[in-house]
Structure 1
Amino acid sequence: MSEDAEASEDQPKKKRFGSRSAPLLPEAGAAGAPLTAVIAIMSFLAVLAMAALLMVNRSASEWTSALRSEITVQVKGDSPSDIDASVAEAMRILQETDGVIEANVRSREESAKLLEPWLGEGNAEVFLNIPAIIEVRADPSIRDNIDLLRNRLTAAAPGASIDDHSRWHDRLSGATRSGQALALAIFLLVMAAACAISVFAARAGLAANHEIISVLHLVGATDGFIATEVQRRFFILGLRGALLGLVVALAVLGLLALGMKARMGTDGFLPTFSLSGWVILWLAVAPIATCLVTALTARLTVLKTLANQY
């Protein structure tokens, strides 16, 4: 047998057992780079929504924890001497109360500075008997007996009153729930948009490859086989777009975190954001969800469309 004959026999075998260089269903106009770009945008928005949810949760946890562990006692009087006497009695009661960790009295100068934005510099100490303020750090369980502590303070120091910050805590909790609901709603809307895009892209792909699908049915291919091929293709496209959106979102969030840190410094009141390891893992949930939603929606769309047409 000649060498040319041997070469001709080996060539079909290489084609038969070689890897497939092109997908079974070629890319249509709705697939490929445009679909990847759209999925990247959806992934970017989903990551931002997840970051907003994490930031709200973290900030609210810090704020509510501080409010629940702090109590403010205000002591009024007709004269500075009366105020000092009432403060001494109030401090005695606080030190005898179980659950009180620490109690500090603000000086008159510090209390006067709090009133300067409204009364002007130096006016508060001249014209007013500034009430004394006692900052109390206590165990959160003390709130269960806050009325008992209030009665004891009132009996020992008639000018004393307690602010347990419950009103601020309730308002902050309500605002937190609203922020969480908004971030979650945005995330769900992004997932719904990804589903809609996947449906339109899958239908466009089926329409563009109608003849190929007809041939596949003639040679015995099932709807499940065709749906698996489409799902595989959409999963690859979705993975590319999701990773691209994640990278861009992490870059934007990193710049935002640096900007917030530079502007606010050590101010711990406003919400902050930092890209730690656990935060990045949580943010990765968004692109993964986008990729899976895209692939599964494409599969279900193909199965439903083929069942109605064939």
Structure 2
Amino acid sequence: MRRFSRAPLLPEAGQGGAPLTAVIAVISSLACLALAAFILIASASNAWTDELKSSFTIQVKGVDAEEIGERLKSAQEILSSTPGVENIKVVESKDAAKLLEPWLGKGNADALNVPALIEVKLNKEAQTDVAALSERLQSISPGVILDDHGGWNDRLADAARSGQALAFAVFALIMGAACAISIFAARAGLSANQEVVSLLHLVGATDDFIAREVQRRFTVIGLRGSMLGLLAATFLLTLFSFATRARGGEGFFLPGLTIGPELLIPLLSVPFAICLVTAIAARLTVLRTLRETY
């Protein structure tokens, strides 16, 4: 007994099937990279702000080295008695002079009365009242200044938000490009198969039936291409992860990238989103074209 398999009414791929799959793969990989950039910027911003919030610097000024030493000792005593202070580090005068070399030149800082610096690390779980601590330090002298890096924190947060907005805009443009390509490909497919579509209309096929056939084809092509794009993006992100680890865990002022669930789960949504966009765009395009033609 001869068996018959169900063949598609419209060509499954045609001459444009492979190029369309390749284009969708490129679009999917770019969308994944844009989404990964959004997630990486958010992770880096959180790491930076947490680090800045858990540390601050104290600058101790004085008219001479003796006065600076006395104020430095008093500041250390206050810090030692403050709950939540985890580590206190006095920056050596030679290290402080090196920080000023780009502006003053080498060896010129020795002739100046360079203020002493104290680096303070806080326990992240402890609730330290930094404002009250600043007032206690000011009671020693107005020359004892606490810098909680608030200005830097705000600038980093603004820069991170700008970077995230840019990454999201790129992602939206890529999704728009996927929609536009689907519309163009659907119209080209209908034009190439005009005789088949006309024959289907003659035998009583509805516009919705033909649109479903085209939608099924674009769903398959979209899913195939977007999954290839996801694999390509994952490969590139893995290379970037290895590169940052080779540089000591950081690269381009960003923390080391770890390919974990917090990154893979959002990336897995990209192929399905692109598949959905291409399928819906193709269906709506076919319905509109058929209504205008027949």
TM-score over 0.5 for the alignment?
yes
CA gap of 1:281–1:222, structure 2 versus 1, over 3 A, is: same
CA gap of 1:299–1:66, structure 2 versus 1, over 3 A, is: same
Could you say which residue in structure 2 is the equivalent of 1:87? 72
1:203-244 superposed Cα distances (whole Å, 9 cap, x missing partner): 111222222223323333222222111111011111221122
Cα deviation for residue 190 of structure 1 reads: 0.5
Query: Does the residue aligned with 1:276 lie in a helix, a strand or coil?
Result: coil
Cα deviation for residue 119 of structure 1 reads: 3.8
- The alignment of Structure 1 onto Structure 2 pairs a total of residues equal to 293
Structure 2 unaligned spans of 5+: none
Could you say which residue in structure 2 is the equivalent of 1:289? 273
1:248-290 superposed Cα distances (whole Å, 9 cap, x missing partner): 222222223323333x325588114434232233222223322
Within-5 A mapping of 1:107-118: 107-118=92-103
Residues 83, 128 of structure 2: 8 Å contact kept: no
CA distance in 1, matches of 2:257, 2:93: 38
CA distance in 2, matches of 1:157, 1:225: 83
Residues 27, 178 of structure 2: 8 Å contact kept: yes
- Indicate the structure (1 or 2) with the bigger Cα radius of gyration: 1
Residues 190, 286 of structure 2: 8 Å contact kept: yes
Could you say which residue in structure 2 is the equivalent of 1:6? none
Residues 85, 121 of structure 2: 8 Å contact kept: yes
Query: Does the residue aligned with 2:9 lie in a helix, a strand or coil?
Result: coil
Q: Could you tell me which amino acid in structure 2 is paired with residue 105 of structure 1?
A: V
TM-score, normalisation: structure 2:
0.89
Q: Could you tell me which amino acid in structure 1 is paired with residue 88 of structure 2?
A: A
Could you say which residue in structure 1 is the equivalent of 2:175? 191
Could you say which residue in structure 1 is the equivalent of 2:61? 76
Cα deviation for residue 108 of structure 1 reads: 2.3
CA distance in 2, matches of 1:181, 1:82: 50
% identity of equivalent residues: 52
Q: Could you tell me which amino acid in structure 2 is paired with residue 277 of structure 1?
A: G
TM-score, normalisation: structure 1:
0.85
CA distance in 1, matches of 2:13, 2:189: 5
CA distance in 2, matches of 1:275, 1:95: 37
2:226 to 225, 242, 261: 242
Could you say which residue in structure 1 is the equivalent of 2:213? 229
CA distance in 2, matches of 1:269, 1:43: 25
Within-5 A mapping of 1:200-215: 200-215=184-199
Could you say which residue in structure 1 is the equivalent of 2:8? 23
CA distance in 2, matches of 1:225, 1:233: 13
Could you say which residue in structure 2 is the equivalent of 1:217? 201
- Structure 1 vs Structure 2 CA RMSD: 2.5
1:277 aligned to 2:260?
yes
Q: Could you tell me which amino acid in structure 1 is paired with residue 95 of structure 2?
A: E
